[in-house]
Structure 1
Amino acid sequence: MSTAPPSAAASADTDEPIAPPTDRPAARRTTSVSPDGAAIWRAVRMPLLLAALVLIVVAGTVLITGGRERGDLDPRAADPSGSRALAELLRRQGIDVTLVTDTTALLTAVEQTPDTTTVVVPFPERLTDAQLGAVGVLRPARTVLIAPESAALEAFGVDASDSGTVSTGVLQPRCTLPEAERAGSVNLGGRGYISNAQGAVRCYPQEGQPTLAVVPRESGDVVLFGTGNPLRNRDLDEQGNASLSMQLLGGHPTVLWYLPSNAEDGGQEGLLHLLPAGWRFGILQFGIAVVLFALYRARRLGPVVTEPLPVVVRATETAEGRARLYRRGRTAGHAAEELRAAARARIAARLGVPSAAAPTALADAAAARTGRPAADIHDLLYGAVPIGDDGLIALADRLDLLEEHVKTGEPQP
């Protein structure tokens, strides 16, 4: 007769389950919900790819446009509106062309060599009042103003007036200015100038208004260009533009080209304005890429999905919880109105009375159904606030009794 192993017997006596024998430990199960390396890479690879693409585009833009600083009539700019070609031609003639972006530096340089310096001021109306006041008192050997208006002419002490805008085109000198006679026809126009100063020379009339004038002052003279076309890269090789510009700007060994920086006089411009144009364009591209990626990855709004509640709460528990809140807040009136509103809705539905009906209509219908006076029913459904918890309980009992009689149609005693 065979006997069961001791372990089996013990298990039988104690009714405990027997663990299956194993030769190796069970594999450990992980319950971690933290993302692993592969999940992190899948999440960040698209943003990294977009960032790398933006950096490549920005770097390519900077390399392509490197050394070409943009700016209208800027002696460093090689784009069509710049004046780098004219500056290089003047330097080949031995003339020192220096870009000055600081007003204090310009004042110091002119004070050191006033008799051998030409100051070029493109679009003086763009200067601030403080800059106009500081530069206008300078008296170098020659001052060249590009398209100045009346306020700038007054600030620089020029005995001339602005006669308004005129059309641009190829114009003839029609004057005795040697530089204009040697240059011949040029692309001028833009603004016209009138000057009755002694010794003033007026050239290149358009629509009856001279668009180039040389006006003497007590020290040096002032050259007024109606437009900056003869100085720009795109027009320099046309007509006599290069000849006229080089003669009028290259009459002295030093040319100071005054283009004040945006951050001068108080630093009102922010850091973004100090960045090169290529970097600002790259930042804009990067911002657009980020917005597009956010829209691509954003959660789509679809239809509402119902999900089962994790815990089923009985209606009685909900009612008891709300009642405790009302009691804690001492809002017996609000609780009574809630009870009455619910009772009115049920009674109206039972009697077929519209929910928007007047209180008297509901009371009369309930009175006809139960045989109770309409005034008592009106007081019960729309009456005063009960006093204390006992009054609230009594109100609830009376409402239940009224609903029961309305439901059964039995007369109420």
Structure 2
Amino acid sequence: MTSVAAAPIRRRRTAIGWIALVAVLAAVGLFGTTLVFGGWMQRDALDPESPAPDGTRAVVRLLEQQGVSVTVVRDLAAAERALDAAPSTLVMRDAPMLSDAALRRLTTEAGDVVLVEPRSRSLDVLLSGSALGDVVEDRSTPPACDVPAAQAAGSAHVGELYLPGEGVIGCYPMEGGFGVLVHDEGDRTVTAVDGLSVLTNRALPLDGDAALALGLLGRAPALVWYVPSLADADTGTAVPTIGELTPEWVTPAMVLLLIAGLTAAVWRGRRFGPLVTERLPVTVRANETTEGRARLYAASGDAAHALDELRRAARRRLVRLLGLSARTPAEQLADAVAERLGTDRAIVRGILIDDLPRTDRELVAASDRLRDLETSVRATLRTERTPR
């Protein structure tokens, strides 16, 4: 009895032990994940709050250590408010959702402007017609320009190249392009830099990338890092109408077609005359139906179809005369008629089935032969009647 009672106790202790082990492992995993990642969430490349290799949190921390106040904003209104609060350097990626006017208005409110990974439109609008160049293998190159930040940094890494516009200084030349563009506008500068090769957490420790980043981004005591979003798209722009999107000749052509259609409808509608109300069902006399079909056959010139109708009616009458079934095939009927008349079966088949008239004259001849055949059959039946 003691051993039987101890078995459930051992199983209960084993189950409790396994449950405790799983709970401890889950707690350790949760604690380790929180400790390692520290609440980190996936963000885009060049995001100032991203610790990933292609993020830029490291350069933000360096700027803060140098006494620069960094404000990260993620919508256009917040960026404008931050720039109004104090003279600041504006750092931003390309913002294709902003119109040219919004882009100029935002950058006018800033002190210095640093464009990180700009595209052709931003370069054209903000750097006097500059444009994108080639993309080369990421490698170090000397500055080869008189910009103080580039001179102090020395060699830095370059990957994407830009073509300078009028009055724009190019630094870090390579294969016909430049890794950094600087446009001096007197009281401020507008700079374009290859952010993925210079500013990311992965690239910052290489050569003079960190010094170049601090020199370009740390000129003012305050910095506003604007991360564009789709919600910043200009909503005041009116949606173009279909008339604005189509060529000028489309609208007159559509009006002309409409007028032509209405004119054709009126012209054809007048030919039918007024509508006549007629009660249904309508009884049509048999002779009217026959004459109507005859006119249709005559108008169509289909002699073979007309003869088929005559043959069909004649076969029905012959079946009744010979006492055959109503479902007797036409071939058997022809054989019965030939046997009754004692004539060649091929001739009877030609009259009842095979002959095809091509003209009205041949149709009349075939109709006469069909009538004569039916008359002959009737004559043979009358001779068999019992005289009174």
What's the TM-score, normalizing by structure 2? Answer: 0.49
Compute the TM-score of the two structures, normalised by the length of structure 1: 0.46
Whichever of the two has the greater Rg, that structure is 2
